């Protein structure tokens, strides 16, 4: 059992010139070690290069997704409201529709190019279609690009590792895709990600 007397005796034994010198040296060594370790930690932290996404993109290129252009047969969807296998469309849209076009599991059977006097619209007759909003399939061959990659009438293409804008002529489009009539050729690489003119890029997928 530790008593006050034992504590006092221990302190008395430590309170000698020899023990004081040992304690002082020990404290000095500890202080030097602590300061040295602190300098080592700071230097080590400074040696790490802090990751900066902007600087990284400038040095290595902005990661982008791309689509390599190739003429393909694709389908665009045109909305059409049907009731009792009849639909009415304006003169500006009538050229889009043709007999035989698919509408899901049904189809168009006739397209009138004469205006219906009662409605002032053109009549489209269908077969086997449900009432409501349906989508007519328009099959065409050409270059298909997601509408998200269209900027006005232009797209960004990859050229020697940088993004360059390319003016195009859009023939048709729907909510998902655009059909490019001209301005794009087989083998061109269209950038799907958001970029700016002459920005350095790094392709991540094809």
Give the CB-side neighbour count of residue 144, counting CA atoms within 13 A. Answer: 13
- Averaged pLDDT of the chain: 86
Position 33 scores a pLDDT of 82
pLDDT > 60? residue 203:
yes
Average pLDDT of the segment spanning 37-63: 67
Asked if residue 28 lies in contact with residue 169, where contact means CB atoms within 8 angstroms, the answer is no
Q: Give exposure, 38-74, as e/b (b: 16+ Cβ within 10 Å).
A: eeeeeeeeeeeeeeeeeeeeeeebbebebbebeeeee
* Secondary structure percentages of the chain, helix, strand, coil, to 5: 25, 45, 30
Q: Name the least confident of 27-36, 89-98, 124-133, 173-182.
A: 27-36
189-205 burial, b if ≥16 CB within 10 A, otherwise e?
bbbbbebeeebebeeee
pTM flag (> 0.85)? no
Asked if residue 57 has pLDDT above 70, the reply is no
Which residue did the predictor score with more confidence, 33 or 21?
A: 33
Least confident of 39-43, 105-109, 113-117, 188-192: 39-43
The predicted structure's pLDDT at residue 36? 77
> What is the distance between the alpha carbons of residues 98 and 115, in angstroms, rounded to a whole number?
16
Q: Tokens standing for 129? A: 């279609």
Contact 83, 119 (CB under 8 A): no
């Amino acid at each position: 059992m530790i008593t006050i007397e034992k504590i006092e005796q221990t302190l008395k034994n430590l309170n000698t010139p020899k023990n004081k010198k040992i304690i002082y040296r020990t404290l000095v060594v500890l202080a030097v070690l602590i300061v040295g370790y602190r300098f080592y930690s700071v230097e080590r932290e400074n040696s790490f290069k802090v990751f900066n996404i902007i600087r990284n993109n400038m040095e290595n290129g902005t990661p982008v997704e791309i689509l390599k252009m190739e003429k393909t047969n694709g389908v665009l969807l045109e909305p059409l409201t049907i009731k009792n296998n009849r639909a009415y469309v304006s003169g500006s849209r009538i050229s889009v529709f043709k007999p035989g076009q698919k509408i899901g599991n049904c189809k168009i059977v006739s397209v009138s190019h004469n205006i219906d006097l009662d409605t002032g619209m053109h009549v489209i007759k269908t077969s086997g279609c449900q009432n409501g909003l349906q989508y007519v399939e328009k099959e065409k061959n050409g270059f298909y690009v997601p509408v998200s990659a269209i900027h006005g009438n232009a797209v960004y293409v990859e050229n020697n590792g940088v993004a360059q804008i390319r003016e195009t002529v859009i023939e048709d489009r729907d909510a998902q895709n655009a059909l490019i009539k001209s301005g794009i050729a087989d083998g061109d690489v269209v950038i799907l990600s958001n970029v700016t003119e002459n920005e350095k890029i790094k392709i991540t997928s094809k």
